[in-house]
């Protein structure tokens, strides 16, 4: 643990955190899978044992949030219960079951001269996670980074600092009990924004990648200012294209689930594009079902001609991520028009085609340039857990390295091992 | 082609190049493999036909370089002959034979709910290549980017601008003959440094990655100033560790080849670390062989005690990439000392162990954190062609996305295709 934090400038403090993280990262990089898994199990145990401390810390946070007049939704996200703490511990144990990516052979081949070449996964190094109010991220992100052999520097929101610190103390107990360096998972002990600035500048070369978890303004700041790579998405402006061959019953279920299962997640549907061939046959029933569940529909003129109770959509609606019970709907003449709407207004996150025409689905999945392109399934499957990756640290829309759900495997780099028997180059 | 270049500011010119590249990139992203290969063949044909134009352009460049008093080595790199132009055309044809990475399935799995998930390669988008005096890069880089479905913006050195322009004109002829947009391969038609600045700022979001090819000062500037990802290495401070179990004859060949086959490439050996157990038995013969071929040896005290004609090494020598007939040599007590020397002084590019002890080789290859880690083979194999990747646009030491030789496959991103039968998320 860092001593005498009060006496240090934020700059010095963050520099020291970076150096400690790098040193711990060197140890983690070659730590055996068993030892990392042992640490994860002991971290879970320590979190369970620390339940009273975590609840006490969380009470301080919740009282302060209440006094500050935070909304009920915000308070709910920040509040911990014994049940939620058990879920945090169980999530740590789930990560034990994931394959250890470090050292796994991604590709192997032999050259005509007998050289054997392997591309092998290695850790990325040190990962910085900047997050807002959910305290479970402290444990989730810490554990995922550890599993992939990375050290992590966590910078949580000031609203949940006491909760985060109590969880973090338990994680360090688990690390230490397994013989791994406590500095493998560090938490920034101060809440001033200058600490974030230091992370964005890369902690003097000791931070390899930043993962921002939070609202748009946080992600935007990180993407604009960071001097190191960022794994993130700015927004999930998710489309479904209802093709002329779409099956009505299937589509009804999928659209309602995509929009309303949870409206606040990045995989939630925001715009429905309807092929004019099924505007009369399919659209009214789908829109009615959404409206009956309290969803506001904003449509273009053709939608409003066909359906009742539809608010006129403005140009802005096509570029708005509502994260709420609102859906924009537009009738398009064909697949090309749908794809060009998505290309213009989409955020390269997740898009979906509902179609019984395999050729149309193939074209859509090949040509739409999004991290996740679905056919005949709910857009709410845009999630590392649902992808079978066990867990994710976030979803990325960038084109380099990590794209889509960022799981343990995406938290690694790789190297080439070349094995010879004395070959020299002519 | 851009019209009226003279009348535009560099900023406007580069912005237009970026927009044209992005538009061409959209076309290339879904261009079939056959069409891209057809373009590559027609580009080769056009280069052959343009031999007189290319030679004429090159004469202008060579005359100017001579007038400017450039060194013989520099002149040689910039000079084209009919033979070298034929080699450029043949290299284009070689790229036809590589597998098209776009659309290839990197991984596929099925979820318990029946969702089928594929991770599929997609192009990166628009690639910027900033290079110095070798005109063949114009064709090589253009062709590799094309093969991977990317548009490319080429900015060659001013010394070879006429050669580059003549080659580029031939490439565009080939593109056009194959029905692909000429803007898929653009060359920056001006030589002022402001154009590079615009590329480093990302051409208004229209450049996805930059590949610098050139000397240390160029790469350093790009790495420091670029606002988009960079695939590069600053230097190749390459080590060989001669283990105590090393075979003398094999080691002699490998060390001489690693240092002297070509001294100016990034895979050339710069520091030899010798296990003290073989300092007397192996080192003198190896050092003598190097000295006989004109290589200067700079050693620590123990090397100088054992061998003759060794210059004392200064602290700076351990961190110097000579790119010349000079080698620094140090005696170390064991494998750990060798690895910690490499960790301190290396550049994470290429390092090698010579050893008949499999356990020592395994530890070295797992623990040394370099893009390429060799066992019992020459470090001069650090090359995309030698790796069987067909060709490379460069070698990267970064930890994200592209590491080691950057071939066609590394010039791609990926997406997830998810295929359902109506699944909704509970």
CA atoms of A7 and A208, how far apart (whole Å): 27
Check pLDDT > 60 for residue A278.
yes
A97: CB partners within 8 A, 6+ apart: A390
- Report percent pLDDT > 70 for chain A: 99
Q: Tell me what pLDDT residue A420 has.
A: 83
Nearest to B49 by CA among B174, B133, B195, B142: B174
Rg of chain A in Å (alpha carbons): 24
Angle at B423 between CA B417 and CA B424, to 5 degrees: 110
Most B CBs within 10 A among A377, A386, A395, A396, hence the mutation to make, goes to A377
With the C-alpha atoms ordered B107, B416, B120, B19, is the resulting torsion angle positive or negative?
A: negative
Of B109, B117, B375, the CB nearest to A420: B375
Q: Tell me what pLDDT residue A1 has.
A: 46
CA atoms of B392 and B411, how far apart (whole Å): 10
Clarify whether residues A208 and A86 are in a common domain: yes
**Average of per-residue pLDDT across B109-133:** 92
Quick check: is A20 in a domain?
A: yes
Q: Return the H-helix or E-strand segment holding A152.
A: strand A151-155
Shortest distance between the Cα of B113 and any Cα of chain A, in A, equals 10
CA atoms of B233 and B423, how far apart (whole Å): 46
Q: Tell me what pLDDT residue B1 has.
A: 46
**Average of per-residue pLDDT across B190-206:** 93
B236-278 pLDDT, tens digit each: 999 999 999 999 999 999 999 999 999 999 999 999 999 999 9
Clarify whether residues A171 and A254 are in a common domain: no
**Average of per-residue pLDDT across A246-270:** 96
Nearest to A323 by CA among A404, A391, A380, A394: A380
B349-362 pLDDT, tens digit each: 999 999 999 999 99
With the C-alpha atoms ordered B92, B93, B94, B99, is the resulting torsion angle positive or negative?
A: positive
For the domain that residue A165 is a member of, what is the CATH number? 3.40.605.10
B9-68 pLDDT, tens digit each: 999 999 999 999 999 999 999 999 999 999 999 999 999 999 999 999 999 999 999 999
Pick left, alpha or beta for residue A179 (phi over 0 → left; psi -120 to 50 → alpha; otherwise beta): left
Check pLDDT > 80 for residue B5.
no
CA atoms of B372 and A70, how far apart (whole Å): 52
* Extended strands (E) in B69-217: 105-110, 116-123, 126-131, 151-155, 185-187, 209-213
Nearest to B118 by CA among B410, B415, B409, B413: B415
Search chain B and give the residue with CA nearest A209: B400
CB interface of B with A, residues 122-141, below 8 Å: 122, 124-125
A126-149 pLDDT, tens digit each: 999 999 878 999 999 999 999 999
**Average of per-residue pLDDT across A163-192:** 96
Token pair in block for residue A303 = 């939608």
Count helices and strands (H / E) in chain A.
14, 16
Clarify whether residues B61 and B116 are in a common domain: yes
B267: CB partners within 8 A, 6+ apart: B236, B238, B258, B349, B350, B372, B379, B380, B381, B382, B383, B395
Clarify whether residues A219 and A294 are in a common domain: no
Quick check: is A397 in a domain?
A: no
Search chain A and give the residue with CA nearest B386: A111
Instruction: pLDDT band for B7, please (50, 70, 90 cuts).
Output: confident
Check pLDDT > 50 for residue B104.
yes
CA atoms of A97 and A407, how far apart (whole Å): 13
Contact A253 B424 (CB under 8 A): yes
Check pLDDT > 90 for residue A390.
no
Residues of A in contact with B119 (CB under 8 A): 404
Q: Tell me what pLDDT residue A303 has.
A: 98
Contact B413 A400 (CB under 8 A): yes
Check pLDDT > 70 for residue A6.
no
**Average of per-residue pLDDT across A223-249:** 94
**Cβ neighbourhood burial of A34 (10 Å; 0-12, 13-18, 19+):** exposed
Instruction: pLDDT band for A332, please (50, 70, 90 cuts).
Output: very high
**Average of per-residue pLDDT across A300-316:** 97
CA atoms of A267 and A351, how far apart (whole Å): 9
Size of interface A-B (CB pairs under 8 A): 189
- Report percent pLDDT > 90 for chain A: 82
Quick check: is B389 in a domain?
A: no
Contact A419 B111 (CB under 8 A): no
Nearest to A415 by CA among B405, B176, B328: B405
Quick check: is B325 in a domain?
A: yes
Total residue length of chain B: 426
For the domain that residue B288 is a member of, what is the CATH number? 3.40.309.10
What is the interface pTM, i.e. ipTM, of the complex? 0.89
Beta bridge partners of B186: B153
A257: CB partners within 8 A, 6+ apart: A378, A380, B424, B425
CB interface of B with A, residues 396-425, below 8 Å: 399-401, 403-404, 413-425
Q: Tell me what pLDDT residue B214 has.
A: 87
Contact A417 B373 (CB under 8 A): yes
Instruction: pLDDT band for A3, please (50, 70, 90 cuts).
Output: low
Contact A416, B374 (CB under 8 A): no
Nearest to A250 by CA among A387, A370, A375, A335: A375
Contact B229 A400 (CB under 8 A): yes
Of B30, B124, B381, the CB nearest to A425: B381
Q: What is the mean pLDDT of chain A?
A: 93
DSSP, res A21: H
Search chain A and give the residue with CA nearest B28: A367
B73-84 pLDDT, tens digit each: 889 889 999 999
Of B376, B399, B421, the CB nearest to A421: B376
Clarify whether residues B224 and B262 are in a common domain: no
Alpha helices per DSSP H over A50-81:
51-67, 72-78
Beta bridge partners of B327: B297
Q: Tell me what pLDDT residue A16 has.
A: 97
Contact B400 A372 (CB under 8 A): no
CA atoms of B71 and A372, how far apart (whole Å): 53
- Report percent pLDDT > 70 for chain B: 99
Residues of A in contact with B361 (CB under 8 A): 419
User: Dihedral (C-alpha) A289, A295, A298, A300: value to the nearest 10 degrees?
Assistant: -10
Instruction: Say whether residue A289 is in contact with chain B using an 8 A CB cutoff.
Output: no
Instruction: pLDDT band for B299, please (50, 70, 90 cuts).
Output: very high
Clarify whether residues A196 and A247 are in a common domain: no
Quick check: is A399 in a domain?
A: no
Q: Tell me what pLDDT residue A171 has.
A: 98
Pick left, alpha or beta for residue A94 (phi over 0 → left; psi -120 to 50 → alpha; otherwise beta): alpha
Contact B363, B254 (CB under 8 A): no
Which residues form the domain of B225? 5-231+406-417
Q: Tell me what pLDDT residue B4 has.
A: 58
Quick check: is A31 in a domain?
A: yes
Q: Tell me what pLDDT residue A270 has.
A: 98
Question: Which residue's structure tokens are 């400017």?
Answer: B68
Search chain B and give the residue with CA nearest A411: B400
Give CA A362 to chain center in angstroms: 27
Quick check: is B367 in a domain?
A: yes
Clarify whether residues A210 and A358 are in a common domain: no
Instruction: Say whether residue A201 is in contact with chain B using an 8 A CB cutoff.
Output: no
| Domain total of chain A | 2
Contact A403 B424 (CB under 8 A): no
Of A229, A247, A253, the CB nearest to B400: A229
Contact A372 B418 (CB under 8 A): yes
Check pLDDT > 60 for residue B3.
no
Quick check: is B388 in a domain?
A: no
CA atoms of A386 and A257, how far apart (whole Å): 15
Angle at A175 between CA A170 and CA A181, to 5 degrees: 125
Q: Tell me what pLDDT residue B404 has.
A: 84
Q: Tell me what pLDDT residue A69 has.
A: 92
Instruction: Say whether residue A230 is in contact with chain B using an 8 A CB cutoff.
Output: no
Clarify whether residues B83 and B39 are in a common domain: yes
Clarify whether residues B245 and B194 are in a common domain: no
Q: What is the mean pLDDT of chain B?
A: 93
**Average of per-residue pLDDT across A210-229:** 91
Clarify whether residues A133 and A72 are in a common domain: yes
Shortest distance between the Cα of A308 and any Cα of chain B, in A, equals 26
Clarify whether residues B155 and B18 are in a common domain: yes
Clarify whether residues B149 and B247 are in a common domain: no
């Amino acid at each position: 643990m860092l001593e005498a934090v009060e006496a240090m400038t934020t700059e010095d403090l963050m520099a020291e955190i970076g150096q400690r993280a790098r040193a711990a990262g060197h140890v983690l990089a070659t730590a055996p899978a068993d030892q990392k898994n042992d640490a994860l199990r002991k971290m879970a145990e320590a979190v369970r044992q620390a339940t009273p401390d975590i609840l006490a810390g969380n009470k301080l946070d919740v009282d302060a949030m209440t006094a500050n007049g935070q909304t009920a939704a915000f308070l709910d996200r920040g509040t911990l219960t014994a049940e939620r703490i058990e879920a945090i511990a169980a999530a740590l144990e789930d990560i034990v079951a994931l394959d250890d990516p470090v050292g796994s052979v991604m590709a192997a081949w032999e050259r005509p001269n007998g050289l054997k070449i392997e591309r092998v996964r290695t850790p990325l190094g040190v990962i910085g996670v900047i997050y807002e109010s959910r305290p479970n991220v402290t444990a989730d992100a810490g554990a995922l980074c550890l599993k992939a052999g990375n050290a992590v520097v966590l910078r949580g929101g000031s609203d949940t600092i006491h909760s985060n610190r109590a969880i973090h103390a338990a994680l360090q107990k688990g690390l230490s009990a397994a013989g791994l360096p406590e500095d493998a998972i560090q938490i920034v002990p101060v809440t001033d924004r200058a600490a974030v600035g230091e992370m964005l500048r890369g902690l003097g070369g000791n931070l390899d990648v930043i993962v921002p978890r939070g609202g748009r303004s946080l992600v935007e700041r990180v993407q604009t200012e960071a001097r190191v790579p960022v794994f993130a998405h700015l927004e999930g402006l998710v489309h479904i294209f209802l093709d002329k061959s779409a099956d009505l019953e299937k589509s009804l279920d999928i659209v309602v689930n995509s929009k309303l299962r949870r409206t606040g997640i990045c995989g939630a549907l925001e715009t429905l594009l309807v092929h004019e061939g099924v505007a009369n046959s399919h659209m009214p029933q789908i829109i009615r079902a959404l409206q009956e569940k309290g969803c506001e529909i904003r449509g273009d003129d053709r939608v409003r001609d066909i359906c009742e109770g539809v608010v006129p959509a403005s140009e802005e609606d096509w570029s708005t991520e509502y994260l709420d019970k609102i859906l924009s709907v537009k009738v398009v003449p064909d697949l090309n028009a749908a794809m060009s709407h998505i290309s213009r207004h989409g955020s390269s996150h997740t898009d979906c085609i509902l179609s019984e025409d395999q050729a149309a689905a193939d074209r859509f999945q090949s040509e739409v340039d999004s991290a996740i392109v679905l056919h005949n399934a709910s857009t709410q499957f845009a999630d590392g857990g649902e992808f079978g990756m066990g867990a994710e640290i976030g979803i990325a829309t960038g084109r380099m390295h990590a794209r889509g759900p960022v799981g343990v495997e995406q938290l690694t780099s790789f190297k080439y091992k070349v094995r010879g028997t004395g070959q020299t180059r002519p």
